[in-house]
Structure 1
Amino acid sequence: MTPLSHHTLRHLALLALPAAIAFAGTAQADEETASAVFAGGCFWCIEEAYDKVEGVEATTSGYSGGHTEDPIYEQVTAGGTGHAEVVKVDYDPDQVDYETLLHVFWRNIDPFAVDRQFCDAGASYRSAIFPMGADQRALAEASKETVAERFDQPIATEINDFEAFYPAEAYHQNYYNENPVRYRFYKSACGRVERLEEVWGDEASATAGSSG
């Protein structure tokens, strides 16, 4: 049986969903809330991972790292915007710190993959960290060095200063909960769980979002 392409898998998972509409559900960060932005391939899967972390108050799928304002999904996945699929994580620093969020991030990605994650290929699926300030950048750089030392091979994950975040269309938000059957099919067929376990061993199973 010929494996399904990432375009086919994503198309099947999106089949029969409503047309894109403007999404206005981004959490408003208050004085007690901080934000972080991560790109780890399919934003559905990264959103699932962080929703299970205690202290995370909201997650929003979207786009960042490119040059096009207010991009739409079709533009981003076509590769003309420079953006990656990302998740903005709003969290309570009194309950969870940025270092913990970095720990979850690394164990939900393949850090060696260049311009792809699992079955999803293209620069929009690259892995990246977008630090929002000097403190986050220092922690992100230190975490990347730790991962590189652990595996003793080049790490493809980028670290880029945060510039802008554009929420994705409403039908992408909380996709794993709103469309569980389609989501599980996509995630299983994409081989995400198996590859994470290959790279991270038991640590993959212990982090949120690794179970299929």
Structure 2
Amino acid sequence: MNLDFSQIVPFIPFLLKGIGATLQFVSISILLGFILGTLLALCKITNIRLLKIFANVYTSIFRGTPLILQLWIIYFAVPQLTGYDIPEYLTAILAFGLNSAAYVSEIIRAGIMAVDRGQMEAAMALGIPYRPMMLNIILPQAIKNILPALVNEFITLTKESAIVSTIGYLDLMRRAQIIGAQIYRNFEALFLAGVIYWVMVYILTKIGELVERRLRQSDTHS
């Protein structure tokens, strides 16, 4: 086979910078998705019909269309309508954050519904207002139960982050493409990028397992 990994060695520092670029926008995206997802989850369980409809329609749209389509709409279509170009970095955060919010909202909603309803009834009987009740009693318990699912969402976004290379953002995948084009050796560059993605996902998976194990231990001790 015509393989020569020695030619890629000088480009390894350039490729490794893609790890930071990838994790940076993915981390901000999951934070944005968590905040918006929490608000959407609260809208889904509220008695206000318009908020519930909005949250359900939002989730349906972002879960029902491809992430790459949402990315391209923000990067290519929105500037056509507004006349303003959106930088690749901001586009990546918006697309992944808005998409993640739809999935996170369902995770959080399920977590809230899993909390014993008696606690909500007891809080209401004690006269605790709705907002403090949700922030101080219900949401902390729900988040504790869904933390492993949130870690899995972070892992999924990390893997899917490779599609931002299609808009020119210098993530890990884009850097591998640039290296392959410069030295005319795509297999070596893409193979190394694949190994790095696997290592990142493996580490995140182990972190998720550790979090889940700690939660089970804390439940056992309590």
Structure with the bigger percentage of strand: 1
Give the TM-score taking structure 2 as reference length: 0.25
Larger Rg, first or second structure (1 or 2): 2
Give the TM-score taking structure 1 as reference length: 0.25
Structure with the bigger percentage of helix: 2
